Amino acid sequence: MVTKTPKMTDPKMTDPKITEKPNPALPSGYSGQQLVDLYKGMALIRAFDERQLKLQRSGRIGFCVVSTGEEAVQVGVAAALEKQDWIFPTYRQHGMILQRGVSVTDMANQLYGNANDRCLGRQMPVHYSFKEINYVSLSSVIGTHLSHAVGAAMAAQYKGDDAVMVTFIGDGGTSSNDFHAALTFAGVQKAPVVFYIVNNHYAISHPVEEQCAAESLHLKGVGYGIPSIKIDGNDLLAVHQATQEALNRARAGEGPTLIECDTYRMGPHSSSDDPTRYRDAAEQEAANKACPIGRFEKQLESWGLWDDTQDKALWTELEQTMVDDTNLSENVGEPTWESLFDDVYAEVPPALARQRDEFMARESQFPRENEGEFPL
């Protein structure tokens, strides 16, 4: 069933409750092809996450972060954005990159840190940055990007640009200093920004009930005068519709919105984490049953848009695509030594050029074994 988008909560309103649409017909405002494409977007993210975790476990990349269980949030938001909108992510919104059209190979290049990596191997894995889709490089420091998003929104407002910034934080991150600073400025300035609290119930291993005494995390926005709602983050269309409403508010000059997406992190916090140490099998099994991908697949079937044969073909194709596209990245050489110098300035100044030439002359006497190749 599709969750209705609840009304906005402001300081004078009560906590909205999630309700269900009883109408099993095709949702208003969506074509059948749009609905199928949204499902395929979630499946693409899941396939990429499964592939990158396999690569890390086999020692072919050093680190990764998966977003298993949170695909509806990423696809629902990304599908509602306009080209001019900007994304200020945490480390778990990489699925939005795929939804915005970046190739699997481009993303895998960053995981390998190879010569085709946009960052030329100078950022740790999962710290993506793609200028062409306005996807800003994330920071490992929790919450700092929220202030950046608000600053960019204020700049767009000042310039008269028709752009909205969207930014994300986890449940634990709502306790960070920058969360409160960002909401203060956004609320006062009526900045065109949408905040998403992705409440996946764990800040690494710390459950949400031990992080905050508030009845609901979205109520934190009310104290800053920001209209705030809580939605079912596993309901793809609820996320999409809430995002459209928030974007329309921002473009109309009505200021920011805070949206809490209630979801669940089905996988580990990162490839360095073992979730079985802090949550039991029963909890994991309940989360698996609430998986947003399986849930939306059943909806497509109920609308007569999808069947088991199509689904099996899709997942088979995606699995092969992941292997082929990530192998392309694995076979690219490392960034050149010269790029340490040439990538700093548009025109290399004479002093830096002399240092580069001296360095290259010295290092050329000690060639690296198997340079340009990655071990399997």
Catalytic residues: 265, 269, 278
Give the whole-angstrom CA distance, residue 233 versus residue 29. 20
Strand order in the sheet with 228-232: 86-88, 165-170, 193-199, 257-262, 228-232
With tokens 């004078």, the residue in question is 12
Residue 293 near residue 46, CB atoms below 8 Å: yes
Rounded distance between C-alpha atoms, residue 281 and residue 97, angstroms: 32
Give the span between the Cα atoms of 229 and 3, in whole angstroms: 13
Q: What is the DSSP letter of 195?
A: E
Token pair recorded at residue 371? 């340079």
CA distance 74 to 167: 11
- Structure tokens given for 215: 């009845």
d(CA 320, CA 329): 15
Q: What's the DSSP call for residue 201?
A: S
> Are 236 and 40 in contact, with CB atoms under 8 Å apart?
no
Residues whose CB is less than 8 angstroms from the CB of residue 44 and which lie 6 or more positions away in sequence, other chains included: 95, 98, 99, 318
d(CA 156, CA 150): 10
72 three-class SS: helix
